[in-house]
Homo-oligomer: A and B are copies of this chain.
Amino acid sequence: MSISLGKGRPREIGRGIPDATVARLPVYHRVLVSLSEAGVQTVSSEALAAKCGVSSAKFRKDLSYLGSYGTRGVGYDVSYLTYHISRELGSAQPWGVVIVGVGNLGRALISYRGFTSRGFEIVGLVDSHPDVVGESFAASERGNVVQLRVRPLADLEVMVADTKAQIGVIATPADCAQGVCDRLVASGIRSILNFAPVVLDVLPGVEVRKVDLAVELQILAFHEQRRGYDQEASNA
């Protein structure tokens, strides 16, 4: 599967999927699942790409990094392609997720049905606020609905170890995010999704993805403003 180049880490052949492609695979996967639920069995790159909001050329190029899963002159078998994308994404096996911070955002994540259906299991909830600790939330685990009790922040390390969680979600205020992050990493977590509006400092080998709600709005505002300028200019 992988060949060594003699120096540095072994470099995979045929597995070097560009980041931009990886970022789109989940969308392809989601749309394929919805097509499957609608009873569609075969789909062309043109039709599928349109539903995903990308060009058909980009879609085919993306798939070419995974393999040849289509049939020329026909299109793609929906379930066959779904399987291969989900395999590539690793959503075949379930990933354990620990959520730190059970405020409104944490609750939104817990109640988000999309998680379980895409191979994620919330296996732990932690909060520092005494009022929240002890509260229970419904979450699904291996298909069954279970009640998850919020545990105190102090239990973070133990819980990660007990649940063998692989992914940590930081849904705390900004000022405690770095501390929580350090403790997640110390517990062995190497994949972190950060909602706090701070740049987290981590050791190499740990991957952090961030979602900053205000940043997205600011990008929208930038374009909105620019549109205003353009309109002014065209009125001249």
User: Which residues of A does B touch, CB under 8 Å?
Assistant: 1-2, 9-10, 15, 22-23, 25-27, 29-31, 51-53, 88-91, 95, 97, 103-105, 107-112, 114-115, 118-120, 166-167, 169, 190-193, 197, 199, 207, 209, 211-227, 229-230, 233-234
Contact = CB atoms under 8 A, between A and B. Distances in A.
A63 B163 CA distance: 45
A21 to B, nearest CB: 10
Given A1-B233, A29-B218, A114-B212, 10 more contacts: A26-B219, A90-B221, A90-B224, A91-B218, A104-B104, A115-B217, A118-B214, A167-B217, A169-B217, A193-B220
A65 to B, nearest CB: 12
A10 B233 contact: yes
Main secondary structure of the interface of A (DSSP, over half): helix
B197 A90 contact: no
Contacts of A15: 226, 229
Given A31-B199, A166-B224, A97 B217 contact: yes
B112 A213 contact: yes
Contacts of A224: 90, 95, 166-167, 190-191, 207
A105 B191 CA distance: 23
A49 B116 CA distance: 37
B105 A108 contact: yes
Nearest to A217: B120
Contacts of A105: 104-105, 108
Contact of A167 (B10, B23, B103, B221): B221
B193 A225 contact: no
A213 B221 CA distance: 22
16 contacts: A10-B234, A30-B215, A31-B199, A89-B221, A91-B218, A104-B105, A112-B213, A112-B214, A120-B221, A166-B224, A169-B217, A190-B227, A191-B220, A193-B217, A207-B224, A211-B216
Contacts of A216: 193, 209, 211
